[in-house]
Structure 1
């Protein structure tokens, strides 16, 4: 930027000298002034171009070569923890916590324990995949090619797009519900959906530099208003009442809540490496894992525990119960009621906080389109991102009254394939690439990547096990139905276990007879 400023000053001096030397010739002076204007216009255009290139990421899923990456520093490590803390210390995860007591009938203690251990395990999944970012310079769904193969990896890419659509839908719905509740219903939920979507689009199209800058500080106002909410609503939490149902039903509901709280943070694994591709290869893997895990765990855990507490108070607080009849977002606004107008302001800040959660997902969604094949790779990321925003905005507007159903069914369903893929990736690394390692430059060379037959077979069989044990509104598996009165969602555990058992022998045969 300093060079551009110097160029401008140099041009100014040159133009002034030429005007002085022109003497009394008015025509020559006008000509020089025109040239001067043109020089200013040219330099202004170059200045804007410089700013655009500095602030906007034009790269898609193409690998970032080592020479273009930034060396590790304290600031870079701070970015890791702040990114995930900001993305998860948000209103949508507070409303996710409502499900423990409200939907599963669990006590505060049962819900809190399920949420805590679920988040710890789920965040470890994201932390593990994130370590591949600096090491490879490749995005998460490109890394999937080294386990799943050239063609089967596109199944993962497509499912990843669905995940990010789902999060975009959830985030915009929460934002719309909170805005509508703050305005006492005078503003529609759809208006809030559109506002959140537009702001997310503006940040996301600029790319990684702006995303990291935004996420570095976004957690601060969110932490402030959530602490205020805890202070206002905390005295009304019911931490004494027990879980409802017989012993088998409570056990099944605990398992379902644990699976749900594991699925939510682990779903970020499909984008975990995306945000670290500009980090140098010698970035500490242990620090990458630890800071990613810690940031995500802290963000999720506080938000979930606060939501669980709010849900336990709904039966005892008349205004909370009335808000619950409107929407989960209205419950959050009701928690600020003692603060009157300042409470409304806090609720608006909380509403805007879902942007921090939606921006990384929207960014990853745009990249996901480019992983679907050779021709999508040629489509600029900005167009893929724009299409993603349009789709989940429409879905959010249509599904604005069904948030609990989206949470309960969508997150659990997405958790099935994520955990299966992570298990396969871990086994591929520890068993089959422990000595040979990876050639990350082959990311787009079909002949040098695995065929993927072993991974595909294990993936599909794992899914079959998940279907037999799933417990969703639209389908209850025969095995799941054996637990308690309402069944329990065991799809995540059974699916990943079956895949883990089958992949090693199948991969051994694939390497023996196919060679890659």
Structure 2
């Protein structure tokens, strides 16, 4: 990574304990405990001490609390964690969309999925690298580029992302469990089972979360290799893309950016999971291991989804299962030759979907705390409970419309995230190239940017996304010009419009307001 990045990662000093209570916490070595300003936080700290329930929320983790040496196993653990998070059955839906919704052949879909995923994962890797050097959660870091109040827009949008993924994850798990049971078990029961597993791990917090992700990959990969041997003979690797000329180009572009939107969805939470890592952790390696782990995890499962999508036209059993109950039944149909053992493998995949949902629920709880000061005083475990209830209820209500929910929801994720990425890149490499970041100012709005420049450029970027976006419910006037069906050009246009507008606006903001 460039030397300018290394400059920002140098320690900027440490903040002394703010009270005797915090001093006691530091001396006792309770990494996740914080000063108790109310009874709820006092109870959370007690649970932390007794059962290891993480009580710390959005409060910065000071360097002295995480002063240790990073080893090779720590960096490998980052890659394994991201692999586990993304190698889950719900990702198959994204693969299936290539052949089913965009009419792409096997080779086209695989190549576009691979490069789109690498692009999105690299963006998440870049943001993840801020966690150790700052000790701050991802959207607390957003305050340094977006400003105190405009950063709340990012918080709200990310909360919607996490709730949407929670809905989809629980729904996929519920559909698989119901299909395994021959639909004798309601999808609702499956949704509740998945939500409860997620809630338990996310509520206990970072230690349980990292441990769960470290081990869940083993049974997941084993049953996926079984799935490959069982279902791959029915994949149509010779299938060709439908259409030609501008129409085919439009479908390819749309699918590329759709697959990029998946890993881009982790950008607003990527640093949340590394705030307890030492301040001297290598940014290069955090970025690389995040990108590699996320890419490998997603591609393993999404390539299988593409294969399933190509096999629908030649395998009537798959086609019937997919048309009746969606991706969940399609997974069970892929295991059908193994009979009862195949059903067991499908159950393992269904329960492992929680690996994707746990970090989202964890991040959603932090988003609640970031919305306003009164919410920040309510401990994180309370908010994980609220988040789990919300997406569980939404999943039950939307259980008949998974594919349309996923397609429409996922496309919207990338637009605002790529806008924020453009702002952060310019902020770090241009405006903070010499001055760096003072991470101790995370909660002092008088020392953070006002955010007028970021807000205006954010809205300009959204305007670009709107005129160039291509979704099933809306095609922008520019997007409609590409081929017969149009193309989703929202991501590159949103990025470009934001980048071009932020630089002069930020210069003007600094000149007029001084910060």
Q: TM-score if structure 1 supplies the norm length?
A: 0.89
Could you say which residue in structure 1 is the equivalent of 2:179?
A: 181
Map 1:253-264 → 2, pairs under 5 A: 253-264=251-262
1:227 Cα deviation after fit: 1.1
Could you say which residue in structure 2 is the equivalent of 1:404?
A: 403
Could you say which residue in structure 2 is the equivalent of 1:29?
A: none
For 2:83 and 2:51, how far apart are their aligned partners in 1? 25
For 1:74 and 1:151, how far apart are their aligned partners in 2? 39
Could you say which residue in structure 1 is the equivalent of 2:204?
A: 206
Map 1:270-309 → 2, pairs under 5 A: 270-309=268-307
Could you say which residue in structure 2 is the equivalent of 1:465?
A: 464
For 1:95 and 1:221, how far apart are their aligned partners in 2? 20
Map 1:94-173 → 2, pairs under 5 A: 94-173=92-171
Note the alpha carbon deviations across 1:237-282, whole angstroms, 9 max, x for none: 1111211123221111111110110010011010000000000000
Q: Is the 8 A contact 2:92 2:327 kept in 1?
A: no
Gap runs ≥5 in structure 1 = 1-47
Could you say which residue in structure 2 is the equivalent of 1:3?
A: none
1:51 Cα deviation after fit: 7.4
Q: 1:223 aligns with which of 215, 221, 224?
A: 221
Q: 1:375 to 1:277 in 2, by over 3 A?
A: same
For 1:169 and 1:430, how far apart are their aligned partners in 2? 37
Could you say which residue in structure 1 is the equivalent of 2:56?
A: 59
Number of matched pairs: 469
Could you say which residue in structure 1 is the equivalent of 2:35?
A: none
For 2:502 and 2:267, how far apart are their aligned partners in 1? 20
Q: Is the 8 A contact 2:85 2:297 kept in 1?
A: yes
Q: Is the 8 A contact 2:128 2:290 kept in 1?
A: yes
For 1:207 and 1:50, how far apart are their aligned partners in 2? 11
Note the alpha carbon deviations across 1:359-413, whole angstroms, 9 max, x for none: 0000000001111111111111111111111110111111112111122111111
1:50 Cα deviation after fit: 8.3
Could you say which residue in structure 1 is the equivalent of 2:484?
A: 485
Q: Is the 8 A contact 1:82 1:217 kept in 2?
A: no
For 2:423 and 2:399, how far apart are their aligned partners in 1? 36
Could you say which residue in structure 2 is the equivalent of 1:84?
A: 82
1:295 Cα deviation after fit: 0.6
For 2:481 and 2:48, how far apart are their aligned partners in 1? 61
Cα RMSD for the two superposed structures: 1.2
Map 1:379-394 → 2, pairs under 5 A: 379-394=378-393
1:152 Cα deviation after fit: 0.2
For 1:63 and 1:88, how far apart are their aligned partners in 2? 27
Q: Is the 8 A contact 2:58 2:136 kept in 1?
A: yes
For 1:117 and 1:406, how far apart are their aligned partners in 2? 24
1:75 Cα deviation after fit: 3.2
1:52 Cα deviation after fit: 4.5
Secondary structure of 1:371's match?
Answer: helix
For 2:383 and 2:466, how far apart are their aligned partners in 1? 31
Could you say which residue in structure 1 is the equivalent of 2:12?
A: none
Q: Is the 8 A contact 1:101 1:311 kept in 2?
A: yes
Could you say which residue in structure 1 is the equivalent of 2:23?
A: none
1:471 Cα deviation after fit: 1.3
Map 1:246-257 → 2, pairs under 5 A: 246-257=244-255
For 1:232 and 1:91, how far apart are their aligned partners in 2? 16
Q: Is the 8 A contact 1:141 1:271 kept in 2?
A: yes
1:70 Cα deviation after fit: 4.9
Could you say which residue in structure 1 is the equivalent of 2:514?
A: 515
Return the index of the structure with the highest Cα Rg.
1
Secondary structure of 2:242's match?
Answer: coil
Map 1:35-74 → 2, pairs under 5 A: 52-53=49-50, 55-71=52-68, 72-74=70-72
Is 236-245 or 345-354 further displaced after alignment? 236-245
Q: 1:49 to 1:141 in 2, by over 3 A?
A: closer
Q: TM-score if structure 2 supplies the norm length?
A: 0.90
Map 1:310-459 → 2, pairs under 5 A: 310-326=308-324, 327-459=326-458
1:53 Cα deviation after fit: 4.5
For 2:118 and 2:202, how far apart are their aligned partners in 1? 28
Could you say which residue in structure 2 is the equivalent of 1:497?
A: 496
Q: Is the 8 A contact 2:264 2:413 kept in 1?
A: no
For 1:311 and 1:237, how far apart are their aligned partners in 2? 8
Q: Is the 8 A contact 2:47 2:53 kept in 1?
A: no
